[in-house]
C-alpha cells in the first residue's frame, strides 16, 4: 500500500467516525440522491450532512470510482490508452509521469483516452494525441506562452498544451511548467 493509499484509508476511517455512518451508508445516501456528477455529490454531502469540502470530495470520488466499476478489460488503463499504433508513445508518458511523481502527492483519474492528474483541482492531462505525439495539457496562470507551450482558447479543459514526440523533450523547461501547474492546484 502506497503512502497515498494509506492516507486515503485513514481519511475514510475518520469520515466514518465523524459522520457516524459507514462507507456503505454514505454510498447508499449518494445513490438514493440519483446524482452522478462529482461536484453535485460533493455539494450534497456538504449541504445535507455538514461534511467539510475535503471529506465530501473524497466520498464523491470514492462513490464514482465504485460506480464506474473496474478499469477497462480489468487491466492497466494505460494498456488500453497506449494500444496499437499508440503503444510506441507510452515511454514518453512514463517519462512525464516520472517527473511529476517527484513533485509530491497527487491523484490519477483515468479517462477514456488520457489520465487526469489532480491535487485539490486538476493540474494536468496526459495522453496520446494525434500525429504520433503525446499531449500534456497544463492548468496554470500567469505563464507566457512559447512556441512549445501553446496557449489554448479560454473555456477549455487546460490553459496550455505541450506536444511531445520523444522522451528527451521531458526536460527542465517542461518540468518547470509542470511544477507551476502542480503548485497552483493546491495540496
Do residue 52 and residue 26 come from a single domain?
A: yes
Residue with the bigger pLDDT between 146 and 70: it is 146
The beta strand positions in 37-157, using DSSP E, are 107-110, 115-118, 122-128, 134-138, 150-151
**Pick from 100, 105, 115: nearest CA to 157:** 115
Do residue 96 and residue 173 come from a single domain?
A: yes
Question: In which element (H, E) is residue 161 found?
Answer: strand 160-164
Range of 83's domain? 77-184
Do residue 105 and residue 178 come from a single domain?
A: yes
Do residue 61 and residue 83 come from a single domain?
A: no
Q: List the CATH number of the domain containing 143.
A: 3.90.1150
For range 18-23, the mean pLDDT: 91
Domain count, the chain: 2
Do residue 89 and residue 111 come from a single domain?
A: yes
Do residue 27 and residue 93 come from a single domain?
A: no
pLDDT digits (tens, 9 = 90+) for 81-117: 888 889 999 999 999 999 999 998 888 888 888 999 9
Do residue 44 and residue 10 come from a single domain?
A: yes
pLDDT digits (tens, 9 = 90+) for 123-177: 999 999 888 899 999 999 889 999 999 999 888 889 999 999 999 999 999 999 9
Do residue 122 and residue 166 come from a single domain?
A: yes
What is the value of pTM for the model shown? 0.61
Helix (H, G, I), strand (E, B) or coil at 31: helix
Distance of alpha carbon 114 from alpha carbon 134, whole angstroms: 10
Calculate the alpha carbon distances from 79 to 73, 93, 112, 135, 167 in Å. Answer: 10, 12, 12, 17, 18
Indicate if the pLDDT at residue 69 is higher than 60: no
Examine the fold and report which residue of 68, 96, 116 is the final residue of a domain before the chain moves on.
68
Do residue 81 and residue 64 come from a single domain?
A: no
Q: At what angle do helices 53-68 and 23-33 cross, to 10 degrees?
A: 80
Amino acid at each position: 500500500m502506497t503512502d497515498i493509499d494509506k492516507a486515503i484509508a485513514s481519511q475514510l476511517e475518520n469520515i466514518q467516525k465523524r459522520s457516524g455512518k459507514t462507507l456503505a451508508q454514505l454510498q447508499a445516501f449518494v445513490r438514493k440522491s440519483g446524482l452522478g456528477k462529482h461536484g453535485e455529490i460533493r455539494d450534497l454531502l456538504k449541504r445535507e450532512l455538514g461534511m467539510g469540502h475535503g471529506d465530501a470530495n473524497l466520498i464523491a470520488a470514492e462513490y464514482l470510482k465504485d460506480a464506474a466499476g473496474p478499469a477497462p478489460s480489468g487491466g492497466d488503463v494505460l494498456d488500453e490508452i497506449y494500444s496499437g499504433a499508440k503503444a510506441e508513445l507510452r515511454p514518453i508518458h512514463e517519462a512525464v509521469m516520472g517527473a511529476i511523481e517527484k513533485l509530491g502527492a497527487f491523484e490519477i483519474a483515468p479517462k477514456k483516452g488520457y489520465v487526469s492528474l489532480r491535487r485539490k483541482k486538476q493540474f494536468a492531462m496526459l495522453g496520446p494525441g494525434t500525429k504520433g505525439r503525446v499531449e500534456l495539457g497544463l492548468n496554470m496562470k500567469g505563464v507566457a506562452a512559447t512556441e512549445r507551450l501553446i496557449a489554448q482558447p479560454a473555456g477549455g479543459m487546460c490553459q496550455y498544451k505541450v506536444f511531445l514526440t520523444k522522451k528527451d523533450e521531458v526536460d527542465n523547461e517542461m518540468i518547470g511548467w509542470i511544477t507551476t501547474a502542480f503548485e497552483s492546484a493546491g495540496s
